Amino acid sequence: MCYKNRSYRVLATARAAGVGKPRRRAYVAGMGIRTLLARLRVPGAGPPPPVVGVLRLSGIIGPSGPARRGLTLTSLAGAIERAFRLPRLKAVVLAINSPGGSAVQSGLIQRRIRSLAEERELPVIAFAEDVAASGGYWLACAADEIFADESSIVGSIGVIHAGFGFPDLLRRIGVERRVHAAGERKAMLDPFGPEDADDVERLEAIQRDVHDAFKALVRARRGKRLKAAEETLFSGEFWSGRQALQMGLIDGIGDPRTVMRERFGDRVQLRLVNPERGWLARRLRQGPAPAEPSDWMAEALAFIDERLIWSRYGL
């Protein structure tokens, strides 16, 4: 049937509904265009599909540099805001692939996501990819629900400080290092000096404080869903996705496309929201190249440290 005849059917419907002749065309004109086309059974003219915003949180959490690209609130704030402003939005997905990093940046990102979720009254669902451990699991706690693959690495709810010690290196290569500091503990944990027991004790006290904050967050976000003893959950150990499900650290096994289609229908659109990183933004993010040999050494050590973090989880 042609569209002209279909429009007559709509007018007939208006007439049958008791709408007077002068108002029948207004009846048709007053319809939204999608509603009118749907009444005429025009293919593809139904209601618009629901939308789910997708935020990718992939990499080490912490400041960026020439040798590493980290996740920080500064680098992600714009993308997070845009993800919560998409039209026809039904939920926001966090696609997490991170072995952790800075506890401060983990907390800042997690709180910004929670703040917008509560402000917009939208559900947030996290999906662990290869790994959501340590700070990566901290980010996952921004979600109302957490999913993972059966083989994902999940957990590592603890705090770690790792570095290198070179107390004899400079002497062996004939370099004299000169450090001048005001403050008794200003040079604590100097990698080029011998380890001091008092410095280690102070570091461990700080780690306990951060660990307590991490545990409090997990308790608050997971609540009664946690099924294992806290001594096990908060030991710093990590588990496979299937084990994490049994312990209550996650809510299910699944991937974003499958889970979102089950909830919002086959027409749901998953829209990836990326941070804006043009050429100028990349140059500003990277900053100037390290000029001093010590800077190059610091960058090299940061790269090695990053690889060691990933390698802890077999990646």
Name the residue type at position 111. R
Residue range 109-148, pLDDT digits in tens: 999 999 999 999 999 999 999 999 999 999 999 999 999 9
Using only C-alpha atoms, what is the Rg of the chain? 27
Query: Within 10 Å of residue 220's Cβ, how many Cβ atoms?
Result: 9
Closest CA to 117 of 136, 149, 145: 145
- Judged against a pLDDT cut of 70, whether residue 213 lies above it is answered with yes
| pLDDT of 44 | 57
Q: Rounded distance, CA 223 to CA 91, Å?
A: 22
- 3 band by pLDDT with thresholds 50, 70 and 90: very low
Q: Rounded distance, CA 52 to CA 174, Å?
A: 60
| pLDDT of 183 | 67
Instruction: Yes or no: say if 46 and 38 are a contact pair by the CB < 8 Å rule.
Output: yes
Residue range 13-28, pLDDT digits in tens: 555 555 455 554 554 5
| pLDDT of 292 | 53
Q: Which pair of tokens denotes residue 63?
A: 């400041």
Closest CA to 185 of 203, 205, 168: 203
- Judged against a pLDDT cut of 70, whether residue 105 lies above it is answered with yes
Domain annotation for the chain: domains and CATH numbers? 3-39 (no CATH), 51-159+228-311 (3.90.226.10)
User: β-strands 238-240, 153-155: how paired?
Assistant: antiparallel
